[in-house]
């Protein structure tokens, strides 16, 4: 039975690949939530810029998710424009969710650097964190981040349904050592990254000449 809650999986998705998609499928199954969204960053504040424009990253996500009605795309950061701060995004999702649980899903590599995010202490006031395993990323938190997370860990994803926000759950997902960086580099070198991402997404990349330089 699906439970009423909103889960979001944020990222640049530049481009979306099977590492993202398999993690989304497994974590949404384990959480059993009614509403699971992949949320592309408009203009990520933590890096110089994206390689593909937001409209292309959105289009690739939509192609990847087209056969999967239970996973949707949330375009609020792309629509908002300007730098995308997750704290602001979660505040707007919290307005929509009322008292329902909200979960922010992210890979271990991203979780390790959470204290570099804008107003990071607000994140757990607004949502639970669901940290997914990723190859080559062991848990490694700074002292202030570890202190902030202390006492918030729950063993089972189901426990996140008891409260609206504030807990952290580690979730094991199949370790697929796929990254957008590697896919972009393969394309730039004229190699073929097939089977690392959906063929519809690869066809879109080719059609629009993305990631060639």
Q: Which of 12, 84, 89, 112 binds ligand ATP (CB under 6 A)?
A: 12
Q: What does each C-alpha distance from 2 to 29, 70, 159 come to in angstroms?
A: 9, 11, 14
Contact segment (CB under 6 A) with ligand ATP among 18-26, 61-69, 121-129, 139-147 equals 18-26
169 binds ligand ATP (CB under 6 A): no
Q: Which of 13, 36, 85, 204 binds ligand ATP (CB under 6 A)?
A: 13
Site for ligand ATP in 114-143 (CB under 6 A): 132, 134
Q: Which of 128, 180, 202, 211 binds ligand ATP (CB under 6 A)?
A: 180
Cα–Cα distance between 55 and 61 in angstroms, integer? 10
Contact segment (CB under 6 A) with ligand ATP among 76-84, 150-158, 176-184, 185-193 equals 176-184
Q: Using the minimum distance from each CB to ligand ATP, give the nearer residue, 86 or 160.
A: 86
Q: Using the minimum distance from each CB to ligand ATP, give the nearer residue, 49 or 82.
A: 49
Q: Which of 5, 8, 11, 211 binds ligand ATP (CB under 6 A)?
A: 11
Answer yes or no: are the C-beta atoms of 123 and 129 closer than 8 Å.
Answer: yes
Q: Using the minimum distance from each CB to ligand ATP, give the nearer residue, 151 or 195.
A: 195
20 binds ligand ATP (CB under 6 A): yes
Report the C-alpha dihedral over residues 76, 4, 95, 166, rounded to 10 degrees.
-100
Count Cβ atoms within 10 A of the Cβ of residue 30 and give its class: 0-12 exposed, 13-18 middle, 19 or more buried: middle
Site for ligand ATP in 139-158 (CB under 6 A): none
Give residue number: closest CB to ligand ATP: 107
Positions touching ligand ATP (CB under 6 A) are: 11-14, 19-20, 23, 106-107, 109-110, 132, 134, 173, 176, 178-181
């Amino acid at each position: 039975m699906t439970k009423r809650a909103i889960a979001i999986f944020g990222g640049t998705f530049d481009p979306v690949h099977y590492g993202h998609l398999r993690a989304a499928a497994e974590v949404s199954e384990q959480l059993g939530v009614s509403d699971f969204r992949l949320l592309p960053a408009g203009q990520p504040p933590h890096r110089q810029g994206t390689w593909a424009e937001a409209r292309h990253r959105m289009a690739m996500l939509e192609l990847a998710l087209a056969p999967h009605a239970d996973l949707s795309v949330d375009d609020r950061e792309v629509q908002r424009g300007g730098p995308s701060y997750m704290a602001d995004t979660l505040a707007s999702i919290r307005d929509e969710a009322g008292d329902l649980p909200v979960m922010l899903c992210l890979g271990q590599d991203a979780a390790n650097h959470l204290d570099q995010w804008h107003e990071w202490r607000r994140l757990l006031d607004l949502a639970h964190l669901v940290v997914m395993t990723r190859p080559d990323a062991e848990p490694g938190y700074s002292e202030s981040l570890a202190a902030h997370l202390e006492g918030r860990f729950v063993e089972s994803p189901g426990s996140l349904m008891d409260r609206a926000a504030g807990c952290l759950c580690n979730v094991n997902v199949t370790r697929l050592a796929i990254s957008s960086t590697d896919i972009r580099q393969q394309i730039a070198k004229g190699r073929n990254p097939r089977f690392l991402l959906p063929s519809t997404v690869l066809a879109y990349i080719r059609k629009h000449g993305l990631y060639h330089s």
